[in-house]
Chains A and B, each alone.
Chain A
């Protein structure tokens, strides 16, 4: 746990320290400080992964396991590249230090959330992550859309927090504990109680907001479009993943001990997830087809991707009552975790590229992409690679995680989900292909070249290299994802 303390302290120090840098004026010093802090934090969580420490030195509130490591690495890395691109995408102003401070708080919240093993700790981290992002979403305070995005996001975010809190209090009332493992175990020794099922539903709703699961997705397109693009990147690649880790830690952990409903019942957890998965991917893809704004399109595509990730939840929770599907359940959740990693990289790259386009060309509609291949070659190439990866073209990273997800459900009662997923992937080529067509095949009205800022180029290059490298040698990341799949127990 020592390495984690390093990470936590570094992020907390940056969060509290950057505002003081305001005395040095509007410079980027606070940004650099945060980058250093995030690098230290990344080193901390990576060390914790490589040299696992015995759990428990931070008390029962945390569990230092591979699942936490995976999400901590993802969220810290995402925060890191968001911080780097913010250097060029966010205009330095008197408020810059606060921007980076808020970012740092959010990163800290996500790290703590990744390792939380206690419902209260989880809730506190959840809020630590969420509250700064409400402010960040509205950071361009003179822009009407930014304000609208912030208000919409804050209200729905507060609502989801409240819902989670009700769920926590129900679980506490039933079991007398807030430890996730202890609560789940205690539930399993009790007779079936519909109140526990209500609590699980509340958790799914509350986490579902962050995971951008249909029908809790309404805020997503507005917030992604209105927020500054680095923050939209953070939402898509970072906080959304926090929703997933919370759902895995709480909902799936409870499901390993406690049948939320009779397995044969139509309201079984697996069925609920299956309906959410197919609604999410289908609605996301269909809505994306008709979007006129790049960030809005990417937002809907991000919703669709959440639908693919839920496939792993379906088979994992189904396997709890049907041991013959145990191996498939593990494979499915492996696919989810692998897709979480990939999605952060792919969507991160796509949003960063969209951010540069908006910044340099001053517009974010789809027509801004026309002729981008000549105007901003590196951005256009990176965006193309990330779109192909999102569509699932081999040998890019996104292909493998989708393959594993579809493979995991193809055998058994949810085979139709795999079919739906494949058809959705094919459908998604409709809008991804359209974007690529605009960049390389269509001509721009104004063909002047735009300069691409160095920090952005570096981030894009790293992300593209990762997409290709994971695509060609997916083995290590899949193994890591598989190791992170929680087994029954703490």
Chain B
């Protein structure tokens, strides 16, 4: 099928209009329509994933490519260019899985204006898919930007108490970040003699002198989106205020734009500059890891804690990717790809659970959630499991990813070894949180536990994490050519 990638972008976007239209007729039907659309996307995404896995394209080449001229003028050319490789296919699959789960989770957690909610959720899914499959910088930017607008509404309309403030802050920060990123793209277009926005055309052709400033501009855009310390100020607010199903996409896939962009664009197009300044980016990633973990330790709100966890875990992605560039050891970058996949699922489960906990108990404050083990036994059990995943305990994929990233980092410099403290702190604050919630005694009454179908849906976040450890080759081997290429850019065999 030549149009597989267009399908995973435009089926959700068209489905979002369909869902809204169906919802105007019958409110309840909107949920089923959205679920059906996201299920179709999941099936197509599985086939995309499989076609990449079964025939891994070598570095710099892509599967399922689609190319159409879009704007062609004297002095300005743009193509509609899509393609996937071992870096984007796990992210496409992750988006599709989280898309289904977010739609499913919205059923119980969102009450007002459901048709619009589902429609916006599907729109986000489609535009995220677009960002992961675009091989044209402007197309990538376009999909990135149109993801922000529906999220603004999703957070601002369906969010918590301070939703309006959080939504406005979110859109201003991310818009500013991406505007700076766009400058980098434009500079690249002008600087490369072929005058192209196509990533395959640009790869390996960017003159070394042109690499530094655009890399900085583009990386700032990624750092805001990810977010990385010190560009993260919007993130705790937005994550805290967003409703659970939105968090699944907002924390699960949107930061992956940045992780993906770091590997595909920052490292892929600027190998020399990345190599030269890899140490700076490693420090940068490490700072996010530590900062997120330490602040999470102090957080008193469940969602705020998960938000900082997410920031800390995205720091691993930056560190792993640049460790490979610095050292020539592909392990770090492979770990980063795996980390993106694993983090998305684990953080999705945590945010969904915090949504359910808040709905049933009326609070997310860790200090007031004592006795959760008795009050909501199933939710508590799932919270324990997903916390174990997030803190990187075996047998969850997060463990494997963090081990790979840190050992990749060690091959860059032994100083990176201090980051081993991050999983320690992470384990500490998660266990402390569990102690104060699930395992604390409480005299408060039992509340309604999550129902079976939601429990099963939550298991779908956690089970793949175990499966991916067993079948880690499904993600690691398609990612190998990219990691090896980045390693060679570092100048080492």
Judge whether A306 is part of the interface by a CB distance below 8 angstroms: no
B73 touches A429 (CB 8 A): no
Q: Which of A401-445 contact B (CB under 8 A)?
A: 403-404, 406-407, 410-411, 418-419, 422-423, 425-427, 429-430, 433-434, 436-437, 440-442
Judge whether A482 is part of the interface by a CB distance below 8 angstroms: yes
CA distance A399 to B74 in the complex (A): 19
- The stretch that binds A, out of B87-95, B183-191, B422-430, is B183-191
- The stretch that binds B, out of A25-33, A111-119, A228-236, A473-481, is A473-481
Q: Which of A452-477 contact B (CB under 8 A)?
A: 474-475
A394 touches B73 (CB 8 A): no
Residue from the set B164, B182, B183, B190 with the largest chain A CB neighbour count within 10 Å? B182
Closest chain B residue to A472, Cβ basis: B70
- The stretch that binds B, out of A37-45, A244-252, A327-335, is A327-335
Can you report 11 residue pairs joining A to B where beta carbons are below 8 Å apart? A334-B75, A388-B149, A393-B175, A395-B146, A406-B183, A406-B186, A410-B190, A429-B172, A433-B168, A478-B71, A478-B76
- With both chains docked as a complex, state the minimum distance between the C-beta of A481 and any C-beta of chain B, in angstroms: 10
Judge whether A310 is part of the interface by a CB distance below 8 angstroms: no
List, in ascending order, chain B residues with CB within 8 A of A327's CB: 74-75
List, in ascending order, chain B residues with CB within 8 A of A474's CB: 71
CA distance A172 to B79 in the complex (A): 50
Add 11 more A-B contacts to A429-B171, A433-B175, A474-B71 (CB < 8 A).
A391-B175, A394-B141, A400-B71, A403-B186, A406-B186, A410-B186, A433-B172, A440-B157, A441-B163, A441-B167, A442-B164
- With both chains docked as a complex, state the minimum distance between the C-beta of B131 and any C-beta of chain A, in angstroms: 12
- With both chains docked as a complex, state the minimum distance between the C-beta of A53 and any C-beta of chain B, in angstroms: 26
As a 0/1 sequence over residues 148 to 163 of chain B, the CB contacts with chain A under 8 angstroms (1 = contact) are: 1100110011000001
List, in ascending order, chain A residues with CB within 8 A of B175's CB: 391, 393, 426, 429, 433
- With both chains docked as a complex, state the minimum distance between the C-beta of A338 and any C-beta of chain B, in angstroms: 10
Q: Which of A160-189 contact B (CB under 8 A)?
A: none
A422 touches B179 (CB 8 A): yes
Q: Which residues of B contact A (CB under 8 A)?
A: 70-76, 138, 141-142, 145-146, 148-149, 152-153, 156-157, 163-164, 167-168, 171-172, 175-176, 179-180, 182-183, 186-187, 189-191
- With both chains docked as a complex, state the minimum distance between the C-beta of B118 and any C-beta of chain A, in angstroms: 17
A422 touches B183 (CB 8 A): yes
Number of interface residues of A (CB under 8 A): 40
List, in ascending order, chain B residues with CB within 8 A of A406's CB: 182-183, 186
Contact A395/B157 with A404-B76, A430-B172, A433-B171 known, Cβ cut-off 8 Å: no
A331 touches B75 (CB 8 A): yes
CA distance A85 to B259 in the complex (A): 48
B183 touches A419 (CB 8 A): yes
List, in ascending order, chain B residues with CB within 8 A of A479's CB: 73
List, in ascending order, chain B residues with CB within 8 A of A395's CB: 142, 146
3 closest Cβ contacts across the A-B interface? Answer: A426-B176, A394-B142, A441-B156
Residue from the set B70, B168, B175 with the largest chain A CB neighbour count within 10 Å? B175
B75 touches A475 (CB 8 A): no
List, in ascending order, chain B residues with CB within 8 A of A482's CB: 73-74
Contact A328/B141 with A410-B186, A423-B179, A429-B171 known, Cβ cut-off 8 Å: no
- With both chains docked as a complex, state the minimum distance between the C-beta of B116 and any C-beta of chain A, in angstroms: 10
CA distance A381 to B116 in the complex (A): 14
Which residue from B75, B156, B180 sits with its C-beta under 8 Å from A422? B180
CA distance A330 to B76 in the complex (A): 11
A437 touches B156 (CB 8 A): yes
CA distance A173 to B164 in the complex (A): 62
List, in ascending order, chain B residues with CB within 8 A of A425's CB: 179
CA distance A161 to B183 in the complex (A): 39
List, in ascending order, chain B residues with CB within 8 A of A328's CB: 75
- With both chains docked as a complex, state the minimum distance between the C-beta of B192 and any C-beta of chain A, in angstroms: 12
Contact A441/B149 with A418-B186, A475-B73 known, Cβ cut-off 8 Å: no
A393 touches B156 (CB 8 A): no
CA distance A474 to B70 in the complex (A): 9
CA distance A236 to B156 in the complex (A): 31
- With both chains docked as a complex, state the minimum distance between the C-beta of B237 and any C-beta of chain A, in angstroms: 14
Contact A475/B72 with A393-B146, A411-B190, A440-B156 known, Cβ cut-off 8 Å: yes
Closest chain A residue to B187, Cβ basis: A410
List, in ascending order, chain A residues with CB within 8 A of B141's CB: 394
CA distance A319 to B408 in the complex (A): 51
CA distance A441 to B172 in the complex (A): 15
List, in ascending order, chain B residues with CB within 8 A of A410's CB: 183, 186-187, 190
- With both chains docked as a complex, state the minimum distance between the C-beta of A149 and any C-beta of chain B, in angstroms: 32
CA distance A392 to B163 in the complex (A): 24
CA distance A411 to B188 in the complex (A): 10
A393 touches B163 (CB 8 A): no
CA distance A430 to B167 in the complex (A): 12
- With both chains docked as a complex, state the minimum distance between the C-beta of A346 and any C-beta of chain B, in angstroms: 16
Closest chain B residue to A433, Cβ basis: B171
Contact A393/B149 with A433-B168, A441-B157, A478-B71 known, Cβ cut-off 8 Å: yes
List, in ascending order, chain A residues with CB within 8 A of B149's CB: 388, 393
Closest chain B residue to A428, Cβ basis: B175
CA distance A410 to B190 in the complex (A): 8
A440 touches B186 (CB 8 A): no
List, in ascending order, chain B residues with CB within 8 A of A403's CB: 138, 182, 186
As a 0/1 sequence over residues 303 to 341 of chain A, the CB contacts with chain B under 8 angstroms (1 = contact) are: 000000000000000000000000110110010000000
CA distance A434 to B165 in the complex (A): 10
List, in ascending order, chain A residues with CB within 8 A of B153's CB: 440
CA distance A482 to B71 in the complex (A): 13
B73 touches A478 (CB 8 A): yes
A407 touches B76 (CB 8 A): yes
As a 0/1 sequence over residues 11 to 42 of chain A, the CB contacts with chain B under 8 angstroms (1 = contact) are: 00000000000000000000000000000000
